[in-house]
């Protein structure tokens, strides 16, 4: 009961943002706001960057874990741990690790003879820092899902490929990839959905800064709504975000439905 009430409440409430009825005014203001354009750009960059990092690393590790080695039973759960850690804590760990003056990461860089970077405190590296942190947390997820997919692949095609004398690379390209396609699509869409809504880690690490370098749609909406108290415009920003998310969700659900049949 409460559940359906709240659901209807939110639809009702969001269709009429603000007290006086202003029509599409909120949306028009939103689309004219250069900060909103920046937020869109940052969000899309973050999605692409995270996929580019997490997918290859996660896939590589998943392939590696299909091989047996001693201690695997013990190591595998440890590798999966990061994705459970509170995102706020991850953001805080980022502040600790990437600390400019005495953080361990800059120290390691100096040991390797590399110049130290300002990471999250400089506009040009802040987004990269966010990506690296998220990669720490979410690559295990990509790895885990792909590994589960790899383990459940049928064995017969591989046997016949071996008989036909296919090389390892050929087997991977013509057999593993096509067979794994549904799982790959699934993991990519789940990551895209999550990154579109990125908020917690960034809030703690940079609060969207420096300037607006890491201001994603989620952070932008929060700041507009709960810092500047422009609830109307925040709602319209939130709806733009949810439109983007719902496209992804629809694809995801279609895939789940097909999987179930």
| Closest by Cα among 146, 167, 163 to 155 | 163
Task: Please identify, using beta-carbon distances, which residue of 158 and 199 lies nearer to other proteins.
Answer: 199
- Is residue 112 within 8 Å of 119, Cβ to Cβ? no
- Separation of alpha carbons 254 and 185, rounded Å: 12
Task: Please identify, using beta-carbon distances, which residue of 127 and 187 lies nearer to other proteins.
Answer: 187
Task: Please identify, using beta-carbon distances, which residue of 6 and 170 lies nearer to other proteins.
Answer: 6
- Is residue 142 within 8 Å of 51, Cβ to Cβ? no
In angstroms, give the least distance from the CB of 177 to other proteins: 17
In angstroms, give the least distance from the CB of 45 to other proteins: 19
Task: Please identify, using beta-carbon distances, which residue of 72 and 124 lies nearer to other proteins.
Answer: 72
Task: Please identify, using beta-carbon distances, which residue of 142 and 213 lies nearer to other proteins.
Answer: 142
Total residues found in the chain within this entry: 261
In angstroms, give the least distance from the CB of 32 to other proteins: 21
Task: Please identify, using beta-carbon distances, which residue of 213 and 241 lies nearer to other proteins.
Answer: 241
In angstroms, give the least distance from the CB of 133 to other proteins: 9
- Separation of alpha carbons 119 and 95, rounded Å: 9
In angstroms, give the least distance from the CB of 161 to other proteins: 19
- 259: number of Cβ within 10 Å: 10
Q: What are phi and psi of 83, to 5 degrees?
A: -70, -15
Q: Is 94 exposed, middle or buried (0-12, 13-18, 19+ CB in 10 A)?
A: buried
In angstroms, give the least distance from the CB of 178 to other proteins: 18
């Amino acid at each position: 009961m409460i559940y359906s009430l709240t659901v209807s409440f939110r639809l009702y409430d969001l269709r009429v943002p603000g007290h006086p009825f202003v029509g599409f005014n909120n949306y028009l203001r939103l689309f004219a706001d250069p900060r909103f354009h920046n937020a869109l750009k940052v969000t899309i960059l973050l999605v692409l960057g995270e996929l580019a990092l997490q997918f290859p690393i996660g896939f590589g590790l998943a392939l590696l874990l299909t091989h047996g080695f001693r201690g695997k039973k013990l190591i595998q759960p440890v590798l999966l741990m990061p994705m459970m850690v509170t995102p706020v804590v991850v953001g805080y760990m980022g502040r600790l690790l990437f600390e400019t003056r005495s953080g361990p990461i800059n120290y390691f860089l100096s040991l390797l003879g590399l110049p130290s970077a300002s990471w999250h405190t400089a506009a040009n590296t802040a987004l990269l820092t966010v990506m690296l942190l998220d990669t720490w947390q979410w690559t295990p997820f990509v790895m885990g899902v792909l590994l589960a997919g790899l383990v459940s692949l049928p064995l017969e095609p591989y046997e016949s490929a071996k008989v036909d004398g296919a090389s390892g690379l050929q087997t991977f390209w013509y057999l593993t990839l096509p067979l794994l396609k549904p799982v790959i699509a699934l993991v990519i869409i789940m990551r895209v959905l999550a990154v579109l809504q990125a908020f917690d880690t960034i809030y703690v690490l940079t609060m969207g800064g420096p300037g607006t370098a890491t201001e994603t749609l989620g952070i932008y909406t929060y700041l507009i709504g709960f810092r500047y108290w422009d609830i109307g415009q925040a709602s319209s920003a939130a709806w733009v975000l949810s439109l983007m998310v719902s496209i992804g969700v629809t694809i995801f659900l279609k895939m789940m439905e097909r999987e179930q049949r």
